[in-house]
A = this chain, B = another copy of it.
Amino acid sequence: MADLPQHVDIHEEGPREGFQIEPGPIPSTEKIALVEALAETGLRHIQVCSFVNPRLVPGWADAEAVAGGFRPKPGVHYTGLWFNESGLRRALAFRERLTVTGSISLSASDAFSRKNLNRGHAENLEAMRKQTAAHLEAGVPVTRLGIMAAFGCNYQGDITPAQVVQTVADGLAIAGEAGVAITDLSLADTMGWATPIRIERGIGAVRERWPDLRIGLHLHDTRGLAVANAHAGLRLGVTKFDSTVGGLGGCPFAGQKGAAGNICTEELALLCEEMGIATGIDLDALIEVGRLAERIVGHQLPSELIRAGSLAAFRRRVAA
């Protein structure tokens, strides 16, 4: 048996990922209700909105209403997402409520970078240099490096560990030039290509070169392997995961209409808690929030656990 971590940090991205992809207009009040309910489950990190161009992502046209509307709970870190200086400025308007930190975001797949950002890897490096400078100028710390498509890509195919290592090196070089220290590396399985063996190899290659970087995983359940991939990460000592309640999210990429979204927070929390890894989450409360998320979006979400119920609930029933 591997040495599993004693504790993991789960970053809940359900509101941001979920509401950006839902077709129907969802009232800001319901988005706020979900954010506030999540904060009552023991989650400590919640991404509440995306400061993106409302013409591109109509589901987040009300980012300001949500970021300014929820009642913050002490001890919970709320975050937003942005991709450019305009988004950064919008986020900074909520600096009292949101934890505003900067990321260097790269893709291990040049083809994905071109499709998703409309610029190749070299141009993206230049854009990230500028964005890092803009963050620092605004007094926003830059401590995180995110690598998209780290395990495979619909537009490029398989991604090798060497490609991931090179992309991480490129990102760390940008940080070095800017004089900032990256402490957190996030490897994202953006299009659901990861398998446990690819997780092991990708993380292994990065660890070998940078043993002190804290590695997090951003997993999608596109092909049903997300929980197995999370388990592979836990075995390697990964202690930070992004996830979405109910499995909110869905997949916007080529050929995968209707495919699943991110790994479900409640299934990830069940996996951890049942193996003795603390999450700080009240799983039964979180399952109720998953059911609330289903009511808000008005259709079934991928989470199996919100239908089955926790094991703790059955243990209480047996004991009664």
Interface residues of A (CB under 8 A from B): 1, 4, 111, 152, 154-158, 192-193, 195-198, 200, 221-225, 227-228, 230-232, 251, 255-260, 264, 267, 270-271, 274-276, 300, 302-305, 307-311, 313-315, 317-319
Contacts and interface: CB of A to CB of B under 8 A. Distances in A.
A2 B199 CA distance: 14
24 contacts: A154-B317, A155-B318, A157-B315, A192-B308, A195-B274, A195-B275, A196-B231, A197-B275, A197-B276, A198-B274, A221-B304, A222-B308, A223-B304, A223-B311, A224-B264, A224-B270, A224-B303, A224-B305, A228-B230, A255-B314, A256-B307, A259-B304, A260-B304, A260-B307
A311 B256 contact: no
A156 to B, nearest CB: 6
Given A274-B195, A274-B197, A311 B224 contact: no
Given A221-B304, A260-B307, A157 B227 contact: no
How many copies are assembled?
A: 2
Contact of A256 (B221, B257, B308): B308
Given A152-B311, A228-B230, A256-B308, 12 more contacts: A157-B314, A192-B308, A197-B274, A221-B304, A223-B267, A223-B270, A224-B264, A224-B267, A224-B270, A225-B271, A255-B313, A259-B308
B222 A225 contact: no
Given A259-B304, A259-B308, A309-B256, A154 B225 contact: no
B258 A307 contact: yes
Closest 8 CB pairs of A and B: A224-B267, A259-B308, A228-B228, A157-B318, A224-B304, A260-B304, A195-B274, A227-B228
A255 to B, nearest CB: 6
A243 to B, nearest CB: 12
A1 B227 CA distance: 18
A223 B308 contact: yes
A238 to B, nearest CB: 14
Contacts of A300: 300
Nearest to A192: B308
B318 A195 contact: no
Contacts of A195: 270-271, 274-275
Nearest to A259: B308
Contact of A315 (B158, B221, B222, B308): B158
